[in-house]
């Protein structure tokens, strides 16, 4: 190719496709975020509609920070489910009600930007790892706690997704045999106990049993709209039920981390997600102590348990890292 | 080095050092087992005594199959604890009451054979993997159920031991928050529920609560000497309590495997250990079904759950594989 025909492609796009919102970021080659855009997913309107929404999100980036799609060398996207990354397809994404969707090729057709797909938690892990730990540690577990609980694994400096590209489904690690029912059909999954959803159910049950909480004043009796920010507010106001429930959940998160230290022993465990973002200062000390207390002798030595400084941007950052490697 | 000075070294030695017995095997270069010897460990007599016992075990091999130590190219040994394999040292082995012991260098001084050390479950996994799956799958979990529960991980065709060389401590994965107390100090560990020790305690508790079992006729009231073979016999004789307990344990083992499929998704899960060896035909179908039922949609597709054909020889076989790579 002659010099004159090469187009400079200084930009990357990273997208975090969630069950409720789509977040897109424009990045330069040094992986600095230049602009962000956000849209609700509206997954109930079907696959084609969501692909359109993603395109619109990218077009909004373009409006915000004028650039040409030809200047974008790659687009990475994280989706909430099991992914065949070589095909760019979503095998199964229950929150979107998708099965076998060619998301990568379809987006590439639409935007004419080379596109690569991975699991959202994998990409959030990659983003946090790349931002804070690359070159310093070779293994990491990213653990994301919000509506649900997901994880990503970095082993030998690389994302590890396992035989069926499904590794990291830590939310469905059974931790309480015969315990509370989980959305997946099993009982006692980590997610059913310590996610925002699990915490909300535990609080609702206690309220039904006669306990008081200011959450009912804030949100009504069934707490349907409960967000992580509401838990933070109630906790700060000294709500005993919320405090107890958050302490129990934090202790359980620490035990889940100890399980992972005992099983895989990553060098660093990076926490993120909505609940951690809102309640970092309260939860992290309890989580760290519980992880240390429950890990086997010697297994947790030197292993760091931290929360990511990237917050909500971890997955779009990781998506851009992935795109930069295309 | 001139041709005349090279000694042919056609043999390898593999040793499985356990809390109760030492098993040693002589192998040819094609990893065929030529001879075996066995001794009780007598760990209570201290580290130096055990090193002597291991040497004697090797000398018995020599008596059985006459060869010169100079003809042995390497000796691999698996120890029950966390190992620093680069130093050949045992960091911590609770069953032997060892901390920071230079087992590799000490054995090498004693026998004048190049020696390499790893965790016993890692080596049993390596042995089973090498014997049945090498070149066919790139990831495997070895799961060994006996007095305790241990595991080893093969990822990207290699043993994975993690940051502190402690990975694979699946026995201390908490599966029942607040559940039965485990020897490690935690509650509800997998080992406390589904190992032979856990099963024995569950049966003893039921007997204390008034249930009947032929085990008390076989072994006396407190079942102190209960072995996996006794469980097999009582099960075959139709003992209802033993049957129920074995079914519950098998179901729990399946859930533990589902946890590992959800977390790491290895291509094959290879079971071994005393309990599986004795009760393979009863337990494996329940374990496989439970693993499949509890794994996330798509995660278990094509993943095989099998028991190793190597039986008790898995660890010495793996130790020989390790020695062959020195």
Q: Which residues contact A293 (CB under 8 A, 6 or more apart)?
A: A254, A258
* Residue of chain A with shortest Cα separation from B150: A263
Instruction: From chain B, pick out residues whose CB is under 8 angstroms from the CB of A155.
Output: 155, 160
- From CA B277, how far away is CA A188, in angstroms rounded? 30
Instruction: Quickly count: other Cβ atoms within 10 Å of residue B205's Cβ.
Output: 12
Q: Is A162 helix (H, G, I), strand (E, B) or coil?
A: coil
CB contact under 8 A, B265 and A294: no
| Per-residue pLDDT at B2 exceeds 70 | no
User: Which residue, among A92, A176, A265, would best test binding to B if mutated, counting the most B CBs under 10 Å from its CB?
Assistant: A265
- From CA B145, how far away is CA B147, in angstroms rounded? 7
- Cα A95–Cα A317–Cα A90 angle in degrees, nearest 5: 35
User: Which residue, among B149, B295, B297, B302, would best test binding to A if mutated, counting the most A CBs under 10 Å from its CB?
Assistant: B297
* Residue of chain B with shortest Cα separation from A302: B164
Q: Is B93 helix (H, G, I), strand (E, B) or coil?
A: strand
- Tell which residue, B290, B306, B265, has the closest CA to residue B125: B306
Instruction: Name the residue facing A91 among B263, B298, B300 (closest C-beta).
Output: B298
- Tell which residue, A207, A208, A214, has the closest CA to residue A239: A214
CB contact under 8 A, A174 and B258: yes
Percentage of chain B lying above the pLDDT 90 cut: 89
The model's confidence at residue B5, banded by pLDDT at 50, 70 and 90, is low
Q: Which pLDDT tens digit goes with each residue over B210-238?
A: 999 999 999 988 788 899 999 999 999 99
Q: Report the pLDDT value the prediction gives residue A222, as an integer from 0 to 100.
A: 80
The model's confidence at residue B242, banded by pLDDT at 50, 70 and 90, is very high
> What ranges make up the beta strands (E) of chain A?
11-17, 21-28, 33-40, 72-79, 82-84, 89-93, 98-101, 115-119, 140-145, 149-155, 158-159, 268-272, 304-307
Chain A / chain B CB contacts < 8 angstroms = 146
- From CA B160, how far away is CA B167, in angstroms rounded? 7
- Tell which residue, A123, A257, A307, A302, has the closest CA to residue B164: A302
* Residue of chain B with shortest Cα separation from A91: B298
* Residue of chain B with shortest Cα separation from A137: B163
- From CA A326, how far away is CA B154, in angstroms rounded? 28
Tokens of B119: 């965790």
The model's confidence at residue B6, banded by pLDDT at 50, 70 and 90, is low
The CA distance from B105 to the nearest CA of chain A, in Å, is 22
Q: Which pLDDT tens digit goes with each residue over B287-326?
A: 999 999 999 988 999 999 999 999 999 999 999 999 999 9
- From CA A124, how far away is CA A295, in angstroms rounded? 25
Alpha helices, H only, chain B: 47-64, 103-111, 120-132, 190-194, 196-208, 214-219, 228-236, 240-263, 274-294, 314-324
Q: Is A301 helix (H, G, I), strand (E, B) or coil?
A: coil
Q: What is the dihedral of CA A247, A249, A253, A259, to 10 degrees?
A: 110
Q: Report the pLDDT value the prediction gives residue A95, as an integer from 0 to 100.
A: 83
Q: Which pLDDT tens digit goes with each residue over A244-286?
A: 999 999 999 999 999 999 999 999 999 999 999 999 999 999 9
The CA distance from B176 to the nearest CA of chain A, in Å, is 4
Any idea what DSSP says for residue B26?
E
Q: Report the pLDDT value the prediction gives residue A5, as an integer from 0 to 100.
A: 53
| Cβ proximity of B141 and B260 under 8 Å | yes
Instruction: From chain B, pick out residues whose CB is under 8 angstroms from the CB of A177.
Output: 175-176, 179, 193, 252, 255
Q: Which pLDDT tens digit goes with each residue over B42-72?
A: 999 999 999 999 999 999 999 999 999 999 9
| Cβ proximity of A116 and A102 under 8 Å | no
Instruction: Quickly count: other Cβ atoms within 10 Å of residue A139's Cβ.
Output: 23
* Residue of chain A with shortest Cα separation from B259: A173
- The residue whose two tokens read 């977390």 is B263
Instruction: Name the residue facing B176 among A82, A92, A176 (closest C-beta).
Output: A176
Instruction: Name the residue facing A175 among B92, B170, B175 (closest C-beta).
Output: B175
CB contact under 8 A, A301 and B164: yes
Q: Report the pLDDT value the prediction gives residue A3, as an integer from 0 to 100.
A: 46
Instruction: From chain B, pick out residues whose CB is under 8 angstroms from the CB of A161.
Output: 265
Instruction: Name the residue facing B175 among A82, A163, A174 (closest C-beta).
Output: A174
Instruction: Name the residue facing A166 among B137, B170, B298 (closest C-beta).
Output: B298
| Cβ proximity of B259 and A173 under 8 Å | yes
User: Which residue, among A152, A168, A169, would best test binding to B if mutated, counting the most B CBs under 10 Å from its CB?
Assistant: A169
- From CA A156, how far away is CA A140, in angstroms rounded? 9
CB contact under 8 A, B82 and A299: yes
The CA distance from A1 to the nearest CA of chain B, in Å, is 38
Q: Report the pLDDT value the prediction gives residue A6, as an integer from 0 to 100.
A: 67
Parts of chain A with a pLDDT under 70: 1-6
Q: Report the pLDDT value the prediction gives residue A162, as an integer from 0 to 100.
A: 94
| Cβ proximity of A234 and A218 under 8 Å | yes
| Per-residue pLDDT at B3 exceeds 80 | no
- Tell which residue, A124, A66, A160, A41, has the closest CA to residue A320: A124
Tokens of B66: 């006459």
How large is the average pLDDT for residues B33-37? 97
CB contact under 8 A, B265 and A94: no
Mean pLDDT score across all residues of chain B: 94
Q: Please provide residue A75's backbone torsions phi and psi, each rounded to the nearest 5 degrees.
A: -125, 125
The model's confidence at residue B106, banded by pLDDT at 50, 70 and 90, is very high
Tokens of A181: 């029912």
Q: What is the dihedral of CA A249, A253, A258, A264, to 10 degrees?
A: 160
Instruction: Quickly count: other Cβ atoms within 10 Å of residue A125's Cβ.
Output: 31
- Looking at the DSSP bridge assignments, the partners of residue B116 are B76
Terminal CA-to-CA distance of chain A, rounded, Å? Answer: 19
Instruction: From chain B, pick out residues whose CB is under 8 angstroms from the CB of A253.
Output: none
| Per-residue pLDDT at B24 exceeds 80 | yes
How large is the average pLDDT for residues B5-24? 89
Instruction: From chain B, pick out residues whose CB is under 8 angstroms from the CB of A255.
Output: 174, 177
| Per-residue pLDDT at B4 exceeds 50 | no
């Amino acid at each position: 190719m002659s010099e004159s025909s090469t187009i400079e492609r200084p930009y990357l796009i990273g997208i975090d496709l969630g069950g409720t919102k789509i977040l897109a970021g424009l990045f330069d080659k040094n992986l600095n975020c230049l602009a962000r855009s956000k849209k609700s997913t509206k997954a109930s309107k079907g696959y084609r509609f969501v692909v359109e929404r993603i395109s619109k999100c990218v077009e909004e980036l373009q409006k915000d920070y004028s650039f040409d799609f030809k200047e974008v060398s790659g687009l990475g996207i994280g989706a909430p489910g099991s992914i065949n990354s070589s095909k760019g397809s979503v095998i199964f994404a229950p929150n979107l009600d998708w099965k076998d969707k060619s998301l990568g090729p379809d987006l590439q057709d639409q935007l004419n930007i080379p596109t690569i797909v991975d699991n959202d938690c994998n990409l959030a892990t990659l983003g946090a790892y790349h931002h804070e730990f690359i070159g310093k540690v070779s293994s990491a577990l990213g653990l994301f706690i919000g509506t649900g609980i997901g994880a990503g694994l970095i082993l030998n400096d690389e994302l590890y997704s396992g035989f069926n590209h499904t590794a990291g489904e830590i939310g469905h690690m059974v931790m309480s045999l015969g315990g509370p029912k989980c959305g997946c059909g099993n009982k006692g999954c980590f997610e059913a106990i310590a996610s925002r959803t699990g915490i909300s159910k535990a609080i609702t049950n206690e309220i039904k049993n006669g306990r008081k909480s200011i959450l009912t004043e804030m949100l009504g009796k069934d707490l349907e709209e409960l967000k992580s920010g509401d838990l933070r507010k109630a906790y700060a106001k000294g709500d005993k039920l919320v405090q107890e429930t958050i302490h129990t959940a934090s202790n359980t998160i620490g035990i889940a981390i100890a399980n992972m230290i005992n099983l895989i022993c990553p060098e660093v465990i990076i926490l993120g997600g909505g609940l951690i973002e809102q309640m970092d200062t309260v939860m992290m000390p309890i989580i760290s102590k519980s992880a240390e207390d429950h890990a086997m002798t010697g297994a947790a030595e030197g292993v760091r348990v931290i929360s990511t400084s990237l917050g909500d941007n971890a997955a779009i950052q990781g998506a851009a890292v992935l795109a930069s490697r295309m």
